[in-house]
A and B are shown apart, each in its own frame.
Chain A
Amino acid sequence: MELVRTKRKNRIRRVTVGSVLIYIFMIFLSVVILLPLLNLVAKSLCAPAKVPGMTGYQIFPAEFSLVHYRVILSTGAIWTALKNSLIITLGGTLLSVVLTCSSAYALTRPGLPGKKILMFFFLAMMVLSAPILQWYIVMKDYKLLNTYPSMIIYGCVSVYNMILLMRFFEDTPAAILEAARIDGAGDWTLLFRIFIPLNKVPIITVMLFYIVPKWNEYFASGVFLTKPDMRVLQCYLREFVVNSNSSELDTDLYAMFRDLNMTSLQNATIVISIIPLLCLYPTILKYFTSGVLAGGVKE
Chain B
Amino acid sequence: MQQSGVIRARKKRSLARRIWDYKVIYLMLLPTVLYFVLFKCKAVAGMSLAFYDYRPRGTNIYAGLKYFEQVFSSPTFGTIILNTIKISLLRMILCWIFPVIFAIMQHEVQGKLFRKSVQVVSYLPHFLSWVVIFGIWNGALQYGGLLNNIYDLFGIEYKNLMLNTKSIVGVIGLSTLWRNIGWDSIIYLAAILAIDNTLFDAATVDGASRLQIITHIILPAIVPTMATILILNCGSILDAGVDQILVFQNSAVQSTIEVLDTYVYRVGLIQGNYSFSTAAGLFKSVVGLIFVVAARTASSRITGSNAN
A interface, CB within 8 angstroms of B: 1, 3-6, 8-13, 16, 18-19, 22-23, 25-26, 29-30, 32-37, 39-40, 43, 52, 55-57, 99-100, 102-103, 105-107, 109, 111-114, 118, 121-122, 125, 127-138, 141, 153-154, 156-157, 162, 186-188, 191, 212, 215-219, 223, 234, 237-238, 241-242, 263, 266-267, 270, 273-274, 277, 281, 284-285, 288-289, 292-293, 296-299
Contacts and interface: CB of A to CB of B under 8 A. Distances in A.
B242 A219 contact: yes
Interface in B104-135: 105-110, 112, 114-115, 117-125, 127-132, 134-135
Contacts of B32: 99-100, 102-103, 157, 162
A6 B225 CA distance: 20
> Which 3 A-B residue pairings sit nearest by Cβ, starting from the closest?
A56-B146, A216-B129, A131-B281
A102 B132 contact: no
A39 B33 CA distance: 47
B119 A3 contact: yes
B292 interface: yes
A103 B193 CA distance: 33
B216 interface: no
10 contacts: A8-B200, A29-B118, A33-B122, A36-B146, A40-B139, A56-B139, A129-B285, A132-B265, A270-B135, A293-B187
B136 A109 contact: no
Nearest to B292: A127
A251 to B, nearest CB: 25
Interface residues of B, number: 106
Contact of A267 (B125, B139, B148, B201): B139
A128 B18 CA distance: 31
B22 A131 contact: no
Contact of A219 (B121, B138, B210, B243): B243
Nearest to A277: B127
A39 B141 CA distance: 12
B28 A187 contact: yes
B22 A113 contact: yes
Nearest to B16: A113
B40 interface: yes
Interface in B122-172: 122-125, 127-132, 134-140, 144-149
A275 to B, nearest CB: 11
Contacts of A5: 107, 115, 193
A128 B37 CA distance: 12
Interface string B279-308: 001001100110011001001100100001
Contacts of B46: 130, 134, 137-138
